[in-house]
A and B are shown apart, each in its own frame.
Chain A
Amino acid sequence: MSGPNEHHIVPLKTFLGVFATLMFLTVMTVVVAQFHFGAWNTVVAMAIASLKAFFVLAYFMHLKYDDKVFLVGFLLSIFFLIVMYFFSVLDISTRPVLNGIL
């Protein structure tokens, strides 16, 4: 067992680097939104957002250094969200055309 002293300390430089990356990605997402890729706009926006989320999670939230239980928990909650989305859409997208009034 390690005391709190031995907890991993992320160096200051890493934090500043992550911040710069996040700023850059924010500019990117705004710039990219000006182009019209049709349905791909959402995909690109979500991809950039997920990249940003990765940096926040890995460094600001220390997931990269911490107990892997936290990572498992986080992924578990994302997984069940996908389950919720998948099965709801499975219903909605396969309803017969007759029902397409909405």
Chain B
Amino acid sequence: MSSAPGVNYLNEKSGLWSWLTTLDHKRIGIMYMISVLSFFAIGGAFAMLIRWELFGAGKNIVDAATYNQFMTFHGAIMTFMVIIPGVPAFLGNFFLPLMIGAKDVAFPRVNLLSWYCLMVGAAISFWSLFYHGADTGWTFYTPYSIQTDNGTTWLVAGAFVMGFSSILTGLNFIVTVHKLRAPGMTFFRMPLFIWGLYSTAVIQVLATPVLGITLLLLIAERTMNIGIFDPAMGGDPVLFQHFFWFYSHPAVYIMILPAMGIISELITCYSKKTIFGYRAIAWSSIGIAAVSFFVWGHHMFVSGQSEVAGIVFSFLTMLVGVPTAIKTFNWVATLYKGSIEFSAPMLFALGFIFLFTIGGVTGIMLAVTAVDVHFHDTYFVVAHFHYVMVGGTLMAITGGIYHWLPKMFGKMYNEGVARFSFVLIFIGFNVTFFPQFVLGAMGMPRRYYDYLPAFEPLNKVSSLGAWTIGVGFLFALYVVVDCILRGKKAPDNPWGAKTLEWQTSSPPPHENFTTQPVVTGGPYEYR
């Protein structure tokens, strides 16, 4: 199936139907891109509304019940529909086969099915809006989630179906990495993005089923009142939290590990230098993935969990800090004696290190039991995980999109606007979330519709920052759309990168490579 010159995966077939039934991982990646970006717009709109409501004390735009819905949908959309599928299913789908020199993922039909699972799951989630929405927060803590009288069941069912999407993607990636690497592509010649995706896939496969059963039990709880998590029937609500966090803590690493992989790619490419400590970074991905299963109780220090469990979980959480620190130091060391270009993707990568470092050290603070007692469920936690999830994952996704746009669409993006979007997002982000650390230290609890007057000035600052981020992402969206519609034709390897995806044409042909690539060295041989 060698293709004629000028024929690529985008123009080889046309029509909506050819997209909806495609088995090409690149097209499925693009479909994920469109859906994830749309969900991001919806989740982002909820964020803007939340910050509008919190602009001043008391009621600003909506009542408490509606605010709780905003908060719930913002959380649920951003976790289940944006960050979890964001890196693996969108960028991973497109680039995993390309970067290991494969023609496709191992199971293209399963890959397409995973996209439909996400779509159907999202549709079911939004269906809850016809039943007065949902107001439980994305964590669905029992017994409130059992008692509340609205469409929570639909949202839970949607998350359940979206779980399948995540599992199927992970399954596909594990098999693809094991079985479809190009000749010569040993495990330790794989790009670090692949290591990130691989360890993520392991978590997706091992943790998501537990979320599935937990949500299934919650649905049974709401429809038949089975009582397993309901204290009124003799059940234990804290056990729900164990089950929930057994998935949801590793899920945090589903969100961040592949983002770290992107950063390794960007740092090496834009400093034209081999990565410092390749094996340490690769192993730390696996290490983080493994240890992530042992630390979930740090979400529960004040939940009524026993003191012993709290201390054990605190200790284990410290262990996860070490591989994370290793990665950060190695990225910084990679810059040493490099040739650093301040292009937009690199700015996002450096922004990532900046914000992720702050997110990381505050994470250590939260892992210390005695200090977490004060910070738990305050804005300090909100700020911390936004620093990691937005400052980390979303910065990495945005940088990754810019970096790979030429490969995906064969066109160059507008560098100036892209850099401007970085400036807006970066400044807006810090203006939004740094004050929230202070608010949390002052004692402002999270998920609050209204707050004491003392918290008002910083909340105002935070809201202003949030709108700046919003504008920044609009500019980023403009860059993407402008690139697709009007971009100048891109060369095959505009950045001089060494990884395999840049060794084929832009955009790649249907089967990725016209001749089977053979790998003879490491991924970052900038000599």
Q: Which residues of A contact B (CB under 8 A)?
A: 69, 76-77, 80, 83-84, 87-88, 90-96, 99, 102
Contacts and interface: CB of A to CB of B under 8 A. Distances in A.
Given A80-B206, A87-B297, A92-B239, 8 more contacts: A77-B206, A83-B293, A84-B210, A84-B242, A87-B242, A88-B239, A91-B306, A92-B306
Interface string B230-257: 0100101011001100100000000000
A17 B89 CA distance: 46
A76 B297 CA distance: 21
B306 A95 contact: yes
A91 B305 contact: yes
Given A87-B294, A92-B239, A102 B234 contact: yes
A96 B239 CA distance: 16
B1 interface: no
B242 A96 contact: no
B415 interface: no
23 contacts: A80-B293, A83-B293, A87-B242, A87-B296, A88-B243, A90-B306, A90-B309, A91-B242, A91-B297, A91-B300, A91-B306, A91-B308, A91-B309, A92-B306, A93-B306, A94-B306, A94-B309, A95-B304, A95-B305, A96-B306, A96-B307, A102-B234, A102-B236
Main SS at interface, chain A: helix
B109 interface: no
Contacts of A99: 304
B411 to A, nearest CB: 41
Nearest to B250: A80
Interface in B255-307: 293-294, 296-297, 300, 304-307
Given A76-B206, A77-B206, A88 B178 contact: no
Most buried by A among B231, B234, B309: B309
Chain B: interface secondary structure?
Answer: helix
Contacts of B296: 87
A84 B307 contact: no
B123 interface: no
Interface residues of B, number: 24
Contacts of A88: 239, 242-243
A69 B305 CA distance: 37
Nearest first, the 6 A-B pairs at minimum CB distance are: A91-B309, A94-B306, A94-B308, A95-B306, A88-B242, A91-B305
Given A77-B206, A91-B238, A83 B294 contact: yes
A94 B307 contact: yes
Contacts of B481: none
Nearest to A84: B246
A8 to B, nearest CB: 19
B64 interface: no
A69 B236 CA distance: 37
Contacts of A76: 206
Nearest to A102: B236
Contacts of B294: 83, 87
Nearest to B178: A69
B34 interface: no
A12 to B, nearest CB: 31
Contacts of B300: 91
B312 A90 contact: yes
A75 B296 CA distance: 21
A84 B181 CA distance: 33
A94 B311 CA distance: 12
A53 to B, nearest CB: 19
A37 B305 CA distance: 33
Contacts of A92: 236, 239, 306
Contacts of B234: 102
Nearest to B236: A102
A88 to B, nearest CB: 5
A68 to B, nearest CB: 13
Nearest to A95: B306
Contacts of A102: 231, 234, 236
